[in-house]
Structure 1
Amino acid sequence: MHRLNWDDLQYVLAVADAQSVAGAARELGVNHATVLRRIAAFEESVGTQVFDRTPRGYALRPDRLRLIAAAREVGQAVTSVCNLADGLDAPLGGHARVTSTDTLCQTVLPEILSELCGKRTELQLSLISTNSHLNLSRLEAELTVRPAKVLPEGLVGETPVSMHFAAYALPGCANLGWLGFDGAMRRSTAWAWLEPQLDKGRVVASGDSFLVLRELVARGVGKALLPVFVGRKDPRLERIDIDLPGNLATPIWVACHEDLADVPRLIRIRKLLCDALEARSRDFVA
């Protein structure tokens, strides 16, 4: 057996995931011929054919599943080594990609990042707005600011504040029906409490973003549970006095991948973000 070229692993795993050379090429940003060459080199190195070539694309052979599983472990280990090496050599300033929900990205975080970049010109921060969890192990982002009861496996971080909820409606419209949660928000503690309170069919409309729900409330479609930092600052809305359980409060995490937890640059930025959020703690409390 020839010596393995570990760079070939990403091509093998990309084809296994995409089940086609074209899909792997798009994912990796290379041309079709490069993927074919890398797959051929890997198969020659391991001395066996990994994929069946079919009219529908490259199909992973069933008896090669353990080989691919081992390749994934090696790929993750190589990524961890590269992430650690890059992070330890990086200066305390520099560029960092921060991901968060659309709600936080359009309310609290722009002000925080503006302050940080203004006071510390050595920092360059990118703010990535998405309600999906980016893969921090692949450095789609280095830091995340995200509400969650617990962090996903592989992430470490701190919770400087918790996000509290209240009910809001247009003035005089407290008797309207409730707005529901959709998408990833259906996993939230707020929806876990509200959904059982509703009679079947009582949801008048729904959204997958607190900003969308706020606009629906402002247009008289219904009433909604909103984070207080979203509802309180909107002069169009009126808070409804209803009893809410205290356990609806959701921690807001400032976190990174565990492989990068000891990188000095990210430790510093995490602390700056935590301090800035904690300084605004009154905005998050009901």
Structure 2
Amino acid sequence: MGDGFPNLAWDDLRLVKAIADTRNLPAAAARIGIDHSTAFRRLRQIEQTLGVTLFEKHRTGYTLTSAGEEVAGLADRVDEDIVSVLRRLAGSELDLAGELRITTNDTLLVELLTPLLARFTQAYPGMRLDMILSNAALNLSKRDADIAIRASDAPPDTLVGRRVARIGWALYGKVEDFPEPGLPDLETLHRRRWVALGDNLATLKAVRYVKSHIAPERIVYRVNSVLGLAEAVEAGIGIGHLPCFIAGTRPGLRRIGLVNPEFGADLWLLTHPDLRDAPRIRAFLDFLAAEIVRRRAFIEGG
């Protein structure tokens, strides 16, 4: 193994890592941008070069041999070293131009961020924004994204950033169903028809409240999207809890409950520690923080 090892290229290690991660040759091939037959042929060549078998094929997929575990571990370390160097280089860039990869969810992008991002692109015409819509926590250490904009009370310890607002939530109904201003009593509200978020958002405190306080037969509509929930309330399907920054822009909705501080979540602008001093990152974070702070009272339901 030692004699052949110097001939092993980074592309070979990438393939081994991809197969180890996916345990599936077609999936591994797709991950690194080659076809299945090429991946199969290259794996055989790598094993011939090293003189060992790296994977055993079982019904459940490809399993690493002991030699394969060593090579896959090496691939992980090399990958981390490469990403780390690229991250530090990106963090030392002096040019306020280029691409920024930003991840957030569709609710924040559609209802809050897009006008602010438009202002940023006007202020920094040399910058290009690549928006990645996902509720999943992308790996900023691997530079899946440069910046994450998230609503969370517990952002990852591996990231740094700033808390720019607290997203307020309150109970809303259709204006026609509540023509008179004022807050109905809870007992009356609990007897009305409700709309609620689906189990995919079960960690939200507003979702847990509805589950524990509202009779199941009163929940007439569920949807796995906050935007879909706002549409349902506005259509008059039922009443429901919504973020104030969404409901506050819809004249067809009326707030029928106080802002509940227990339902809120902090709004964070996050990045990797190696990137926080990069001029591009700093410019974006400073600009967006200032824009959001100007709208903080609205976001918080004031």
TM-score where L is the length of structure 2 = 0.82
Which of 234, 239, 249 is 1:218 aligned to? 234
| CA deviation vs aligned residue, 1:182-231 (integer Å, no higher than 9, x gap) | 25422223323443223345432222221100111112221111110101
Distance in structure 1 (CA, Å) of the matches to 2:77 and 2:195: 44
Greater alpha carbon shift after TM alignment, 78-87 vs 37-46: 37-46
| CA deviation vs aligned residue, 1:42-64 (integer Å, no higher than 9, x gap) | 5456553221145x585113646
Structure 1 unaligned residues grouped into runs of 5+: none
Letter in 2 for 1:99: T
Cα distance, 1:102 vs. partner? 0.7
Is 2:195 aligned against 1:191? Answer: no
Is the contact made by 1:19 and 1:58 (CA closer than 8 Å) also made in structure 2? yes
Cα distance, 1:266 vs. partner? 1.1
| CA deviation vs aligned residue, 1:53-97 (integer Å, no higher than 9, x gap) | 45x585113646853456434423322222222442462222212
**SS of corresponding position for 2:249:** coil
Higher-Rg structure is 2
Is 2:61 aligned against 1:61? Answer: no
Cα distance, 1:34 vs. partner? 4.1
| CA deviation vs aligned residue, 1:82-138 (integer Å, no higher than 9, x gap) | 222244246222221222111111121111011111122222223333333333333
Which of 114, 124, 129 is 1:125 aligned to? 129
Letter in 1 for 2:294: A
Partner of 1:278: 293
Is the contact made by 2:55 and 2:65 (CA closer than 8 Å) also made in structure 1? no
Which of 250, 259, 268 is 1:234 aligned to? 250
Distance in structure 1 (CA, Å) of the matches to 2:143 and 2:239: 39
Partner of 1:250: 265
Cα distance, 1:235 vs. partner? 0.9
Distance in structure 1 (CA, Å) of the matches to 2:90 and 2:49: 28
Is the contact made by 1:189 and 1:250 (CA closer than 8 Å) also made in structure 2? no
Greater alpha carbon shift after TM alignment, 22-31 vs 67-76: 67-76
Partner of 2:148: 144
Cα distance, 1:35 vs. partner? 2.6
**SS of corresponding position for 1:106:** helix
Greater alpha carbon shift after TM alignment, 137-146 vs 270-279: 137-146
Is the contact made by 1:51 and 1:58 (CA closer than 8 Å) also made in structure 2? no
Partner of 1:79: 83
Q: Say what the alpha-carbon RMSD is for the aligned residues.
A: 2.6
**SS of corresponding position for 1:226:** strand
Letter in 1 for 2:255: R
Is the contact made by 1:8 and 1:41 (CA closer than 8 Å) also made in structure 2? no
Letter in 2 for 1:61: L
**SS of corresponding position for 1:149:** coil
Using a 3 Å threshold, how does the CA distance of structure 1 residues 266 and 236 change in structure 2: closer, same or farther? same
**SS of corresponding position for 2:215:** coil
Which of 31, 37, 48 is 2:35 aligned to? 31
**Aligned residues: percent identity?**
27
Is the contact made by 2:91 and 2:276 (CA closer than 8 Å) also made in structure 1? no
TM-score where L is the length of structure 1 = 0.86
Partner of 1:21: 25
Cα distance, 1:160 vs. partner? 0.9
Distance in structure 2 (CA, Å) of the matches to 1:170 and 1:181: 17
Is the contact made by 1:131 and 1:184 (CA closer than 8 Å) also made in structure 2? no
Using a 3 Å threshold, how does the CA distance of structure 1 residues 145 and 278 change in structure 2: closer, same or farther? same
Cα distance, 1:256 vs. partner? 1.6
Distance in structure 1 (CA, Å) of the matches to 2:138 and 2:200: 13
Structure 2 unaligned residues grouped into runs of 5+: 179-188
Greater alpha carbon shift after TM alignment, 162-171 vs 260-269: 260-269
